[in-house]
Amino acid sequence: MYKSLEEIVSAAEKSSFYEAVLQDDCKERGIEKEESKKQMRAMYEAMKNADDNYDGTLVSASGLAGTDGEKLAKARMEKKLLCGDFIGLVMEKAVKMGESNACMKRIVAAPTAGSCGVLPAVLLSLEEAKGYSIEQMTEALYVAAGIGGVIASRAFIAGAAGGCQAEIGSASAMAAGAVTWLAGGTEEQICHAAALALKSLLGLACDPVAGLVEVPCIKRNVIGAVNALTASDMVMAGIKSYIPPDEVIDAMRNIGRNMPSCLKETGEGGLAVTPTGMQVKEKLPNFMEERK
Amino acid sequence: MNIMDIIGPVMVGPSSSHTAGAVKIGQISRKLLAEQVRQAEIYFHGSFLATGRGHGTDRALIAGLLGMAVDNENIPNSFEAAKKEGLEFTFRGIDLGDAHPNTVKMYLTGESGRKLEIVAASIGGGQIRICEIDGLNANFCGDYPTLIVHNLDQPGHVTEVTSMLAHKSVNIATMQLYRDSRGGNAVMVIECDQEVPRESIRWLEHLEGIEKVTYLSLEEA
């Protein structure tokens, strides 16, 4: 995988962002382009299946998650959402995927299970709204993977390592780049969209209630998805990130390193230690009780 | 790590460490036992114990012991599947001291009565580590064909094993040696680039001073 976005941009001089990532993958894994593309297409299709298989009646084992995607769908159908139909659809898909994950359904970790709603919410909604081909959506996933790969090499993509900015922040940056690719942005614009998206989520703590991938993770997928779209729109309007994209990723690493461990997926800080969060944790069934 | 770890894997939620990793621990343990699991006494430590129920770690581990993959949609129903396949199990809590927070200890019995004691950890992103086998150290990830030989701590056993591997053209990727005391029980853990033939494993089992041979094959049983 590439160590910097700058490297991808220079490798893309003779081809494109998508092809640079594809070629690097083929070289690294010693496989043919068709094999790599087949696997990536399967990932997109798995995202689609996961979205189709959402079950609005399911509730997670803890009782904390479920049925909210259905509420958003209803409000959207009734045209009650201020954000409008398209953003409404993105929100709905993000929540649905997060809930499916919490309810032990099959999802695609992208880059993680906790942030699995961001990319599909953005990409599936765009495919529905704009009629992009599966081929174009697959290319967009390569762009997202290229950005995610750089973030994984320079910083981290796990909440335990860098907080939620490393999960929802990375997913949002990846989605922003993918959207910008679909919108016809240049290689530089793809990187700047990723930078703007990541900048907006820098410092986000990983503070899940009772240590579960439910509160606040599911709804944070919404902000990750919508933030990707606004970042891409800003860039396509001609706005740039003042801080160069690779430096933004380094800033994320810096913040993650300085973040206390109570805010890195330990369930010992933030929302997890609010009175309500603590109550949830105390009531949660565990294996000791099961013995009785 | 490659880009299919960034976009992917396809998995049953909710957590790569507490769910997908637990499935993988179950799968590898079943392969190490090398037969159908009939009984499993399972002890959860640390974060597995505290949040395992909410993450479906229990169902995931049983699914793995039944041979399901991380994206099998039947993982949530693994308890029912276990009943059908005649796998009995119990869950308890345990304090394993400074072990990795996501650690599980299991006592497995197979259909022929073969027993295996295993300690394994889910170390993040669905990656796992087998930490102990039958009370002795081990340290491998299950991504290679792995040969685990328990022997008496006396001269010559390493040569016997490595000569056999050389003779069968099996290249050693990594090799570790541990013992509990001088002249006591020893173990070698060898990760290989190729599969070790079954007959060579049987041959090893019959050597003087070799107490148990456990083998992780990546080929489908």
CA distance B156 to B136: 20
Whether residue A83 contacts residue A94, with contact meaning beta carbons closer than 8 Å, is answered with: no
Residue B53, domain member (yes or no)? yes
Shared-domain flag, residues B50 and B77: yes
pLDDT the model gives residue B127: 87
Residue B194: give its domain's CATH number: 3.30.70.260
Chain B touched by A115 (CB under 8 Å): no
List, in sequence order, the alpha helices (H) in A155-216: 159-162, 168-182, 187-201
**Which residues make Cβ contacts (< 8 Å) with residue B199, sequence separation at least 6?**
none
Query: Stretch A174-198: mean pLDDT, rounded?
Result: 98
Query: Stretch A238-260: mean pLDDT, rounded?
Result: 98
Whether residue A90 contacts residue A121, with contact meaning beta carbons closer than 8 Å, is answered with: yes
Residue A261, domain member (yes or no)? yes
Number of domains in chain A: 1
Chain A nearest C-alpha distance from B30 (Å): 22
Task: Give the phi and the psi of residue A204 in degrees, each rounded to 5.
Answer: -65, 125
Residue A63: give its domain's CATH number: 1.10.4100
Decide if B71 and A106 are in contact by the 8 Å CB cutoff.
yes
pLDDT in tens, A89-144: 999 999 999 999 999 999 999 999 999 999 999 999 999 999 999 999 999 999 99
CA distance B46 to A76: 43
Q: Which positions of chain B have pLDDT values less than 50?
A: none
DSSP string for B205-221: HTSTTEEEEEEE--S--
Tokens 């409404």: give the residue.
Answer: A88
pLDDT band at residue A163 using 50, 70 and 90 as cut-offs: very high
Query: Alpha carbon of B131 to those of A175, B122, B126, B179, B184: distances in Å?
Result: 38, 10, 16, 14, 20
Q: Which of B11, B91, B125 shows the shortest C-beta gap to A107?
A: B11
Shared-domain flag, residues B159 and B201: yes
The residue from B79, B107, B133 where one domain ends is B133
Q: Which of B1, B8, B50 shows the shortest C-beta gap to A211?
A: B50
Q: Which of A109, A142, A152 shows the shortest C-beta gap to B11?
A: A109
pLDDT band at residue A209 using 50, 70 and 90 as cut-offs: very high
Whether residue A271 contacts residue A280, with contact meaning beta carbons closer than 8 Å, is answered with: no
Shared-domain flag, residues B150 and B179: yes
Instruction: Give the structural domain span for B78.
Output: 3-133
- What end-to-end distance do the CA atoms of chain B give, in Å? 27
Residue B108: give its domain's CATH number: 3.30.1330.90
Query: Stretch A214-243: mean pLDDT, rounded?
Result: 98
Shared-domain flag, residues B44 and B153: no
pLDDT in tens, B160-196: 999 999 999 999 999 999 999 999 999 999 999 999 9
Residue A292, domain member (yes or no)? no
Shared-domain flag, residues B197 and B176: yes
Shared-domain flag, residues B120 and B174: no
Scanning every residue of chain B, which has its alpha carbon at the shortest distance from the alpha carbon of A266? B47
Decide if B10 and A213 are in contact by the 8 Å CB cutoff.
no
Instruction: List residues bridging with B210 in a β-sheet.
Output: B151
**Does position A292 have pLDDT exceeding 50, yes or no?**
no
Residue A173, domain member (yes or no)? yes
Chain B CB contacts of A116 below 8 Å: 13
pLDDT the model gives residue A195: 98
pLDDT band at residue A267 using 50, 70 and 90 as cut-offs: confident
pLDDT the model gives residue A291: 43
pLDDT the model gives residue A285: 73
Enter the pTM of the model.
0.91
Query: Stretch A163-189: mean pLDDT, rounded?
Result: 98
Instruction: Give the structural domain span for A99.
Output: 5-284
Residue B189, domain member (yes or no)? yes
Which of B1, B4, B6, B18 to mutate: most A Cβ within 10 Å? B6
Shared-domain flag, residues B22 and B51: yes
Decide if A149 and B3 are in contact by the 8 Å CB cutoff.
yes
pLDDT the model gives residue B216: 96
DSSP tag of B20: I
Query: Alpha carbon of A162 to those of A159, A188, A257, A261: distances in Å?
Result: 5, 26, 7, 9
pLDDT the model gives residue B221: 58
Residue A290, domain member (yes or no)? no
Whether residue A171 contacts residue A129, with contact meaning beta carbons closer than 8 Å, is answered with: no
ipTM: 0.94
Shared-domain flag, residues B154 and B66: no
Residue A291, domain member (yes or no)? no
Shared-domain flag, residues B103 and B157: no
Number of domains in chain B: 2
Task: Give the phi and the psi of residue B2 in degrees, each rounded to 5.
Answer: -135, -175
Shared-domain flag, residues B88 and B161: no
pLDDT the model gives residue A279: 95
CA distance B108 to A63: 32
Chain B touched by A288 (CB under 8 Å): yes
Query: Stretch A13-35: mean pLDDT, rounded?
Result: 96
Residue A96, domain member (yes or no)? yes
Residue B140, domain member (yes or no)? no
The residue from B101, B133, B165 where one domain ends is B133
Residue B221, domain member (yes or no)? no
Q: What percent of chain A has pLDDT over 90?
A: 92
List, in sequence order, the alpha helices (H) in chain B: 3-6, 21-33, 46-55, 57-65, 78-85, 157-167, 198-205
Decide if A104 and B11 are in contact by the 8 Å CB cutoff.
no
Scanning every residue of chain A, which has its alpha carbon at the shortest distance from the alpha carbon of B93? A288
Shared-domain flag, residues B181 and B116: no
Chain B CB contacts of A110 below 8 Å: 6-8
The residue from B133, B155, B186 where one domain ends is B133
